[in-house]
Structure formats: C-alpha cells, structure tokens
Amino acid sequence: MIRGIGTDIIEIGFIQKAMEQSKRFAQRVFTENEISYCENKPNKYQHYAARFAAKEALMKALKTGWNNGIQWKQIEVMNQPGGAPVIFTAGKVKERLDEAGITTIEVSLSHSEQYAIAMVCIQETDSNIK
C-alpha cells in the first residue's frame, strides 16, 4: 500500500552556486559515495541536484520534515548496476521509515540543463496481498 508520495524540483544553478561558495555544503548534504559518483560525471552538478531533490522528495513522502535528528547524509541516493536510482537510509530516517512500516522506496530522477526533479513513493507491504 502506498503511504506517501513526494516530489521536488530544483535549479541546478542553485546547487552549483552553493557548492562553489562553500566546500562544507557538499560534506554536509552528500555522502562520500554520492560525492564520488557525482564528481566522476561530466555534468556533475546535474547529478548532485538530482540527489538533493530525491532527499527532499523522500522527506515530503514521509511527512516528517528535517527535524528531530534527521540529517541529509542519512539518505543516500545511488544507482543500481543498470543505472536505476535507489535510496538507502540510515539513522533517524531509517527509524522513521521502520516505525511507519515502510518496506519499499521507489525513486525516479530526471534533469535538463537547468532543472533536476525527483519523485519518491514509499510503500508498506500489504500482508493480505500474496
């Protein structure tokens, strides 16, 4: 059963400017795995922006906001071998998902030259469905 849906769109230039003005921005928002992935891409800011949007979209789907110990790096957006994005969680974010009975996080990312967008759907397993 779907428990929440979230979407977020962001200007890639916003992320680029934030990262150029402060080296701490990337360290505060992105995991080492995300940084390594994005830094190896020709248009790295598109990939950073898509991950930023996915983190925001997950928090919108969960309906909790960025409070009570939830931190950016507790959400990691990576890619499966075939390229499909996947979200991993840790800490308070994982606790909130577990408490809500969320067993599946679906994520879709897209970007153009100026914008990145993410859509997240969180689901719980319906024990009546076999």
Torsion-angle region of 123 (φ positive above 0: left; ψ -120 to 50: alpha; else: beta): beta
Query: Measured between alpha carbons, how far is residue 16 from residues 3, 98, 105 in Å?
Result: 33, 34, 27
Task: Round to whole Å and give the CA distance between 47 and 80.
Answer: 15
Low-confidence ranges of the chain (pLDDT < 70): 126-130
Contact between 54 and 118 (Cβ < 8 Å): yes
Task: Round to whole Å and give the CA distance between 34 and 23.
Answer: 15
Question: Which CATH class, in words, describes the domain spanning 2-123?
Answer: alpha beta
Q: What is the predicted pLDDT for the residue at 65?
A: 77
Contact between 123 and 3 (Cβ < 8 Å): yes
Task: Round to whole Å and give the CA distance between 113 and 49.
Answer: 11
Q: What is the predicted pLDDT for the residue at 130?
A: 45
| pTM across the whole model | 0.93
Give the three-state DSSP class for 67: coil
Q: What is the predicted pLDDT for the residue at 68?
A: 81
Torsion-angle region of 102 (φ positive above 0: left; ψ -120 to 50: alpha; else: beta): beta
